[in-house]
C-alpha cells in the first residue's frame, strides 16, 4: 500500500426532489383538491473515520463524490424518498479543509467519528401545502434545492504518542524495529525511511501500550526543501513526546547535529521544541567518547533528559522505553 497523506476531492450533496402538482379525482370524493406530495431531501456527503485505514491512497481513484438526490413527490400526498448519505472513509487523524476558502471544516480523531462536509438540498413542497381559502387549487409546487458543493483538501496527521526525529542514519528505524513489531527498511545509507513508520510498544500486561512514529531524516535546509524536506513533520504535531536521536559514532560536532534538527523543527512549528523531549545518543556500542560528553553537556545545559542506547545490543533500550512511558503517563 502506497502511503499518501494529502488528497483533494470534490464533494457534492444530493439535490432535493421537486414537489408534485396533483389533484384528487377518485370516485366518491366530492371535494378532491390538491394532493401533490413533497420531494425527498438530497443525501449528504459524510466523512467517516475508519481505524483500518492509515493512508489517503484510496481517494486518488475518484475525484468527485456525489451523494444521491432526493426523489420527486407524487400524487395522493406521497412524498419522495430522501437520498442516501454518501460515506467517505478516511483514516483517523484526517484534517478536512475547504480548498478554496481555506476554512477548516473539522478533523476526525476517533474511529467511527463522522463529519458532514456537504449537506444535501431540501426537497420541494407539493401543491397540497399551498391550498388556501382564496386559492383552493394551486397549480404550482416548489423545486428541490441544490445540495452543497465544494472542493476539499484532506491532510493526514498520524496519531502517535511518541515521535522519533533525527538526522538520516541516526538509528531511528532500528530503534522502532527493536521496541515494536514494526519492520521498517534498515540499511547503511541515508534516507532508507521514505515515509513515516508506526509501531506499537507494549511493555507488559500491566502497562498501557503506546504508538511510536519514525519520521524520515531531516537535514540542514529541510525547511527549504532539501532532502525530503519537512513534508512529513506534520505527523509529529500530534505527538506528546519527542525522542531526538543523535548518532554517537558519527564524525564532527554532536551539538551541531542536535541543533540542525532543532532548527528544522522550529522552522516548521516553533511549538515542537516546547514538547516533552528526550535527547538520546544512539549507536552506543560504537560511540566516540568526545561526542558522548559533548551531547550530554548540551542536553544538561538545556534542561533536557539525556539517555544513551545501542539498538544493536539492547543496551539502554529498556530504560528509554520506561522513560517514554513515564512521560506519557505524566
DSSP-H helix ranges across 97-179: 172-179
Q: Rounded distance, CA 245 to CA 281, Å?
A: 6
Topology of domain 162-329, CATH: Rossmann fold (3.40.50)
Which DSSP state fits 237? T
Task: Name the CATH superfamily for 1-156.
Answer: GTP1/OBG domain (2.70.210.12)
In the chain, where does the domain assigned CATH 3.40.50.300 lie? Answer: 162-329
Q: Rounded distance, CA 105 to CA 9, Å?
A: 14
Which residues, other chains included, contact 33 with Cβ-Cβ below 8 Å and sequence gap of 6+?
A: 23, 24, 128, 131, 136, 137
pLDDT of residue 160: 84
- With a cut of 50, which residues of the chain have pLDDT below it? 1, 187, 189-191
pLDDT of residue 228: 53
pLDDT of residue 225: 59
Residue in the block written with cell 542514519? 169
Q: Mark residue 316 as left, alpha or beta (left: phi above 0; alpha: psi -120 to 50; beta: remaining).
A: left
pLDDT of residue 1: 47
Which residues, other chains included, contact 262 with Cβ-Cβ below 8 Å and sequence gap of 6+?
A: 244, 273
Give the pTM: 0.77
pLDDT of residue 109: 92
Note the pLDDT tens digit of each residue in 180-199: 876 765 545 444 555 678 88
In the chain, where does the domain assigned CATH 2.70.210.12 lie? Answer: 1-156
Q: Which of 237, 238, 258, 235 is nearest to 246 (CA)?
A: 258
Residue in the block written with cell 501500550? 209
Which DSSP state fits 138? -
pLDDT of residue 150: 96
Amino acid at each position: 500500500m502506497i502511503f499518501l497523506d494529502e488528497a483533494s476531492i470534490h464533494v457534492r450533496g444530493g439535490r432535493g426532489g421537486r414537489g408534485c402538482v396533483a389533484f384528487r379525482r377518485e370516485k366518491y370524493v366530492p371535494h378532491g383538491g390538491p394532493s401533490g406530495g413533497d420531494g425527498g431531501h438530497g443525501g449528504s456527503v459524510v466523512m467517516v473515520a475508519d481505524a483500518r485505514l492509515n493512508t489517503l491512497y484510496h481517494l486518488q481513484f475518484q475525484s468527485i463524490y456525489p451523494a444521491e438526490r432526493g426523489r420527486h413527490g407524487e400524487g395522493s400526498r406521497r412524498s419522495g424518498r430522501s437520498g442516501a448519505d454518501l460515506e467517505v472513509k478516511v483514516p483517523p487523524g484526517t484534517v478536512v479543509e475547504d480548498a478554496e476558502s481555506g476554512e477548516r471544516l473539522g478533523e476526525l480523531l476517533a474511529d467511527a467519528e463522522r463529519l458532514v462536509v456537504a449537506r444535501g438540498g431540501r426537497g420541494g413542497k407539493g401543491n397540497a401545502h399551498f391550498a388556501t381559502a382564496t386559492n383552493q387549487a394551486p397549480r404550482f409546487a416548489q423545486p428541490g434545492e441544490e445540495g452543497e458543493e465544494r472542493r476539499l483538501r484532506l491532510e493526514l496527521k498520524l496519531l502517535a504518542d511518541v515521535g522519533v526525529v533525527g538526522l538520516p542514519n541516526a538509528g531511528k528505524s532500528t530503534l522502532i524495529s527493536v521496541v515494536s513489531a514494526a519492520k521498517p527498511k534498515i540499511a547503511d545509507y541515508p534516507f532508507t525511511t521514505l515515509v513515516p513508520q508506526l509501531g506499537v510498544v507494549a511493555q507488559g500486561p500491566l502497562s498501557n501500550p503506546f504508538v511510536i512514529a519514525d519520521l524520515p531524516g531531516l537535514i540542514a535546509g529541510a525547511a527549504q526543501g532539501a532532502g525530503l524536506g519537512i513534508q512529513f513533520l506534520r505527523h509529529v504535531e500530534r505527538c506528546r513526546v519527542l525522542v531526538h536521536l543523535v548518532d554517537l559514532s558519527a564524525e564532527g560536532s554532536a551539538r551541531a547535529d542536535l541543533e540542525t534538527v532543532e532548527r528544522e523543527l522550529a522552522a516548521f512549528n516553533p511549538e515542537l521544541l516546547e514538547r516533552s523531549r528526550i535527547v538520546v545518543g544512539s549507536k552506543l556500542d560504537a560511540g566516540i567518547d568526545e561526542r558522548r560528553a559533548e551531547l550530554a553537556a548540551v542536553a544538561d545545559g538545556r534542561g533536557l533528559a539525556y539517555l544513551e542506547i545501542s539498538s544493536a545490543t539492547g543496551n539502554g533500550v529498556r530504560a528509554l522505553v520506561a522513560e517514554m512511558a513515564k512521560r506519557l503517563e505524566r
